[in-house]
Structure 1
Amino acid sequence: MTLRAIPALAAGVCLALGAALPAQADIKIGFLATLSGPGGTLGQDQYDGFMLGIDAAGGKLGGQAVQIVREDDQLKPEVGRQAAKKLIERDRVQVLTGLSFSNVLMAVYRDVVNSGTVLLVNNAGPSQIAGEMCSPFYFSTSWQNDQQHEAMGKYAQQKGYKRVALLAPNYQAGREALIGFKRYFEGEILSETYTQVNQPDYSVEITQLRNSNPDAVFIFYPGGMGVNFVKQYHQAGMMGKVPLLSGSTVDGTTLPALQDIALGVMSAGPWSPDLPNPANRSFVEQFRKKYGRTPSHYAAYGYDSAQALNAALAATGGRLDDKKAFEQAMVKANFPSVRGGFRFNNNHFPVSNYYAFEVVRDPAGGVTLATRETVFPDHQDPYHGKCKLK
């Protein structure tokens, strides 16, 4: 049975890394993510990437044995908050990682950082946490929500699109996605549509798009939402006629279901499977070998989380009790990131390049993301100036 086939459990799951773990591991990590429902592929890729990162570090982090306790937040903020409290108070984890969706992250955030637990996120990135709510205990190896969509907005501006329609699910990351796109796009926004989270049918919205005759359409629909929207966009005859721009919609979690339907769709972000650095080549090769599929950016940032932890713990001698020393070690963590250059900003979000990607056919006849251009070099999120950390 593969890891993807293991049912997501509400109770913690302890997994041995390599050989069987001792009764009391030196480093105890809680992994909290969306592992079920239409968004479950995001959390599973985060988890698989994180576990592969531990494998790459020799099955330990900073030379210390590791115990993982896994929880499924079910994309429900209250479930996530209860799970986080369990991980902190009962399981006594020293690090909490994962976090797929911003509404869940916001629900658990204060409980985690107020407890002094290290919170290492590898997807969700709400603006408040990047700004005035930043914490010395919080780190992200992914992005602040606006950033990838800022890159797509700038790309649309550079391509000369004048009239663009925008769609996203109605929750924090969806709203921040459209804010990010509009920050760098100077043309006319024909419509700004927010749909229900996990909405399966977009026929009404797509009919409205066809009638408005936009130059391009921009969407943010992660996981199963993206599969449904892109398929219905194709079925409506709009694919290839009206350019489809996206963020976190066409990626390693959705392309296996979309295949040729997604050819030509554009996306943006700081990572793609074809980035030509040695760490990324090794990561993609090992991920495909272990899991039998191409990794998504969720897996890539999960992998970087494990690598960052490994570097920081090596610098502290495997200790987490001195929180200030560990924070400084994380800020300075030097590790071979899959995105190439990597550094934490003052708010502990990454500063990195952002690229435009196109869905193309790969040499094996499948589909993949191909890097087309660098939209932003060394891009900082727009909220870091509100963070008081130095």
Structure 2
Amino acid sequence: MLNQHKVDFVVGPAHSGVAMGMIKMLRNKDIIMIIPNAGAAAATGPLCAPNIFRTSFSSWQPSYPMGTVALDKGYKKVYVISWNYGMGRESLDAFEESFAAGGGEIIEKVLLPFPSTNFQPNISDIADKNPDAVFTFFAGGGATKFVKDYDAMGLRGKIPLMGSGFLTEGTLESQGAAAEGIITGLHYSENLDIPKNQDFREAFHTEYGHYPDIYAVQGYDAGQAIVNTVNQLNGDLSNKQAAINIMEKLVIDSPRGKFTFSKAHNPIQNIYLREVKDGVNVVQSIAAEALEDPARGCKL
């Protein structure tokens, strides 16, 4: 794509590990990379570059506000658990950063080998330690298994379960009643009362036969960033620095709510506090308004 096809934009990927390899190849080249999902902190941190943009989130953003949420709910002692890989470690660290700063105590921090889903011993340990709450990062099939095991072992309704929003994003149908009451933080919710969100959801459903989740929203916004930039340049992308200058100033009218890019090219966006009610991630409040990732290590 870079050398043979001379493309103007590369959009991708989903996985942070793949993103790291792509960034090392593409940073500071005459091409614009737009990351529509991968949340690795380094992408807009130490590996930031003028031609690298992200329309999704940093791993820090959904989890950091949840430490304050836990404190506001009166939770003083929290058990945290995730997989031992970048997104898991960074999510737990972000929660601990705000939670500990407010006087909270992490009584146990568990990092499981990825992609292990043998959660029963850890859930038994949670029951024994009886924390005020549990905070976790799991996604996909692992999120479904953890939530179902947590419920099956009798902890739902006894020890509150909190998480980065990916715990219940795209997984609610498979989790069923076991997910009821889970509290998460994320930069989107399906029931956001925003005209752009309602229009997008109906258009997406008409086109594809099902309703979108956050992954679709992030991809849509990557497309919007490209279209808006190309239009302002009247289709002339010969000067990539001019394209970068325009992208840096964009206001993206997203289904999640309007956002702009930080100096490190990560979205400055709301993080919504959500609770699962009747199989839907219902917005309770804005956990953090216009939250900007600290972009530690970025030299832009």
Normalising by structure 1, report the TM-score: 0.72
Match of 2:125 in 1: 208
Match of 1:368 in 2: 280
Q: 2-side partners of 1:220 and 1:381: how far apart?
A: 18
Match of 2:233 in 1: 316
Match of 1:150 in 2: 64
Q: 2-side partners of 1:153 and 1:292: how far apart?
A: 37
Work out which of the residue numbers 88, 112, 118 in structure 2 matches 1:174: 88
For the residue of structure 2 that corresponds to 1:99, the secondary structure is coil
- 1:273-288 pair list within 5 angstroms: 273-288=190-205
Q: 2-side partners of 1:355 and 1:212: how far apart?
A: 29
- 1:73-84 pair list within 5 angstroms: none
AA of the residue aligned to 2:88:
G
- Partners of 2:31 and 2:240 within 8 A in 1: no
1:354 aligns with 2:271: yes
Q: 1:257 Cα shift? A: 0.8
Q: 1:330 Cα shift? A: 0.9
Q: 1-side partners of 2:280 and 2:5: how far apart?
A: 40
1:301 aligns with 2:218: yes
AA of the residue aligned to 1:294:
Y
Match of 1:107 in 2: 21
- 1:1-390 pair list within 5 angstroms: 87-186=1-100, 187-361=104-278, 367-383=279-295, 386-389=297-300
Q: 2-side partners of 1:305 and 1:251: how far apart?
A: 23
Q: 1:252 Cα shift? A: 4.1
Gaps of 5+ in 1: 1-86, 362-366
Aligned length: 297
Deviation larger for 340-349 or 270-279: 270-279
Q: Sort the Cα spacing of 1:226 and 1:156 in 2 relative to 1 into closer, same or farther, 3 A.
A: same
AA of the residue aligned to 2:157:
G
Q: 1-side partners of 2:63 and 2:76: how far apart?
A: 17
Q: Sort the Cα spacing of 1:197 and 1:294 in 2 relative to 1 into closer, same or farther, 3 A.
A: farther
After superposition, give the CA deviation of every residue in 1:21-41 in whole Å (9 maximum; x if it has no partner): xxxxxxxxxxxxxxxxxxxxx
Q: Sort the Cα spacing of 1:252 and 1:166 in 2 relative to 1 into closer, same or farther, 3 A.
A: closer
Amino-acid identity (%)? 33
Normalising by structure 2, report the TM-score: 0.93
Q: 1:388 Cα shift? A: 3.2
After superposition, give the CA deviation of every residue in 1:241-276 in whole Å (9 maximum; x if it has no partner): 111101143344211211222111111012111222
Q: CA RMSD in A?
A: 1.7
Q: Sort the Cα spacing of 1:155 and 1:139 in 2 relative to 1 into closer, same or farther, 3 A.
A: same
AA of the residue aligned to 1:373:
S
For the residue of structure 1 that corresponds to 2:218, the secondary structure is helix
- Partners of 1:112 and 1:119 within 8 A in 2: yes
- Partners of 1:166 and 1:193 within 8 A in 2: yes
After superposition, give the CA deviation of every residue in 1:327-376 in whole Å (9 maximum; x if it has no partner): 01111224421122211010100111111001111xxxxx1111001111
For the residue of structure 1 that corresponds to 2:109, the secondary structure is strand
Q: 1:319 Cα shift? A: 2.9
- Partners of 2:137 and 2:167 within 8 A in 1: no
After superposition, give the CA deviation of every residue in 1:210-253 in whole Å (9 maximum; x if it has no partner): 11111111110111111111111111111111111011433442
- Partners of 1:252 and 1:295 within 8 A in 2: no
- Partners of 1:151 and 1:269 within 8 A in 2: no
